[in-house]
Amino acid sequence: MSQLRNNLPREHFREPLWQTPFHPRLEALSRTKAWYNWGGYQVASVLRSEENEYFAIRNATALFDVTPMVKYRIEGPDAEAFCDRLTLRDVAKLKSGRVQYTCWCDDEGKVLDDGTLFRFSETEFRLCCQERHLNWLLDSAIGYDVAVAEVTEDIAGLAVQGPTSCTVLQEAGFDGIETMKPFDIRRFTAGGIEVTVSRTGFTGDLGYEAFVAAGDALALWDLLWEAGRLYGITAIGYTALNLARLEAGFIVTNSDFIAAETAVRPNRRRSPFEIGLDWMVALDKPRHFNGRRALRAEKANGTSRRVLVGLDIEGNVPAEHSLVYHRGKKEIGHITAAAWSPTTKRNIALASLERPYGVSVTDDMWVEIYALRELTYQKMMVRARIVERPFFANPRRTATPPAPF
C-alpha cells in the first residue's frame, strides 16, 4: 500500500511572498531592488546590472538562488518503478549518483512540466521542477510502495555557474569536485556543512548546483563568497540567467510552452514532439508510462501540430513577443523567447511554428518586430532563418576535469 504524505503549507495569505534563506545576502547586495515572484518566493530579477551579471556567467562565477525550484522527495521500495511510470525516459538506466533531465505528461501525451530527476540510491530520488504537482504525484503513486513529499522549504539551493566555478568550489573545500562529470551527484562536507552538489545548471556553461538544509544556507553562501573573491564571484538575478539559458537553447515552462494542467485552452497544450523533447520519449522502455499510448499514436500518425525552432534574426532588435511569417504574408507562429546574444553577437530567438513550417518548409521566414523609439513604435519586417540549437556551446561545459584558474 502506498505511503503518501502531504506537507501542510504555510499560510500564504499572511505572507504573500516568502523570502528564501539566502535573502539577507541578496538584499544587502541589491542596488536595483528589482524583485519578482517565483513560485511564491521573492527572488532577484536584477541586483546591480543585467550586463554585469550576464558576463559573470560567461567569464567568472555567478551565484543564483534556486531555492524556489520545487523539490519532491520520492523514496521507498517502488521508487524506481514509480518514477519510470511518471516520466518519459527510462529510469532503470539512471544509476545512483546521477541526474536525468526529463519531463512528464498527462494521459493525452501533453507535457505537464520538465525538470531534473536525482537518483541518490536504489530507493531514493528527488524531482526538481518549475511548477507544483504534488496532487498529481500523489495520485500517480497509488498502488506503489513509495512515499512522496514536497521538500522545497527544507532545502536551499545555489546555482554556481561559470568558467571559474570549479576553482571556487575547490577553494571552498569541495575536495575532488573536479572529477565530477556532467549530471553527477556527490555529497561533500565543506566548512563543516553537509552539501549535496550536482554538476548541472541552466546556463549552458560549466556549472554546479549546491543544496543544503535551509538552516545552513547563509553559511554556504559565506563560504563560497569568500572563496570566490579572487575569481570574480557575482550574485545574479533571473534576467541574466534567462539570457544565458536562451543562448544554451533551454526551454522554460509557461514561457516556451504552457503546462498542460494550467492551460485554459486545450489547443495551447504541447506534446514533447512539439517542444523539442522528442529525444527523451522512450516508447520502447519495458514499463508503461503516462501518455505512452497517445505519444505512440502521435509519432506513428504524424499528428504533431507544432514545432519549436531556433531562429537567427537580422538586425539587433530582440523579437520579443513577435509573430513569425512565411514569405512575409502567412502567419505561421510566434516567438517564445528572444534576445541579442552578447557572446555570439547574434539576434536569437525560440519560436513555436505550425507544421509543416519549421519541418519540411524552412525557407523565406520573416519576423514582425515592433521597436519602441522615442515613444513611437516602428514596425519592422526582418528576415529570419532556422538554425540549430544551442546558439552557444563551449567545450568547458563538459570538460572533466575543468580547466583550472
Q: What is the pLDDT of residues 326-351, one digit of tens each?
A: 999 999 999 999 999 999 999 999 99
- Is the model's pLDDT at 317 over the cut of 70? yes
Residue pLDDT, tens place only, 133-147? 999 999 999 999 999
Q: For cell 546590472, name the residue.
A: 49
Cα gap 126→99, rounded to integer Å: 9
Residue pLDDT, tens place only, 90-119? 999 999 999 999 999 999 999 999 999 999
Sign of the CA dihedral 388, 46, 201, 153? negative
Cα gap 226→196, rounded to integer Å: 19
- Is the model's pLDDT at 15 over the cut of 90? no
Contact 386, 310 (CB under 8 A): yes
* CATH superfamily name and code, 12-69+153-247: Probable tRNA modification gtpase trme; domain 1 (3.30.1360.120)
Give me the residues paired with residue 197 across strands.
Answer: 186, 210
Give me the residues paired with residue 383 across strands.
Answer: 366
What pLDDT is attached to residue 2?
A: 42
Report the 10 Å Cβ neighbour count for 55.
Answer: 18
DSSP 8-state secondary structure symbol assigned to residue 87? B
Contact 239, 57 (CB under 8 A): no
Contact 233, 59 (CB under 8 A): no
What pLDDT is attached to residue 10?
A: 63
What pLDDT is attached to residue 5?
A: 45
Q: Where are the domains of the chain?
A: 12-69+153-247, 305-394
Per-residue pLDDT averaged across 169-195, rounded? Answer: 98
Per-residue pLDDT averaged across 359-371, rounded? Answer: 96
Q: In the structure, what pLDDT confidence band is assigned to residue 222 with cuts at 50, 70 and 90? A: very high
Q: Quick check: do 12-69+153-247 and 305-394 share a fold?
A: no
Q: In the structure, what pLDDT confidence band is assigned to residue 8 with cuts at 50, 70 and 90? A: low
- Is the model's pLDDT at 3 over the cut of 50? no
**DSSP labels for 304-352?**
--EEEEEEEESSSS--TT-EEEETTTEEEEEEEEEEEETTTTEEEEEEE
Cα gap 334→356, rounded to integer Å: 15
3-state DSSP assignment of residue 94: coil
Q: In the structure, what pLDDT confidence band is assigned to residue 4 with cuts at 50, 70 and 90? A: very low
What pLDDT is attached to residue 13?
A: 65
Cα gap 236→317, rounded to integer Å: 24
Residue pLDDT, tens place only, 28-73? 999 999 999 999 999 999 999 999 999 999 999 999 999 999 999 9
Give me the percent of the chain exceeding a pLDDT of 70: 97
Q: In the structure, what pLDDT confidence band is assigned to residue 295 with cuts at 50, 70 and 90? A: very high
Radius of gyration, CA atoms only, the chain? 22
209 known member of a binding site: yes
What pLDDT is attached to residue 372?
A: 87
Q: What is the pTM of this model?
A: 0.94
Query: Measuring CA to CA, which residue among 171, 168, 149 is closest to residue 159?
Result: 168
Average predicted confidence (pLDDT) for the chain: 95
C-alpha grid cell for residue 382? 526582418
Per-residue pLDDT averaged across 214-237, rounded? Answer: 97
- Is the model's pLDDT at 278 over the cut of 80? yes
3-state DSSP assignment of residue 98: strand
Per-residue pLDDT averaged across 226-248, rounded? Answer: 97
Cα gap 201→323, rounded to integer Å: 30
Q: In the structure, what pLDDT confidence band is assigned to residue 12 with cuts at 50, 70 and 90? A: low
Please tell us whether the domain made up of 305-394 is placed in CATH 3.40.50.1100: no
Query: Measuring CA to CA, which residue among 295, 237, 64, 76 is closest to residue 162?
Result: 64
What pLDDT is attached to residue 14?
A: 75
- Is the model's pLDDT at 6 over the cut of 70? no
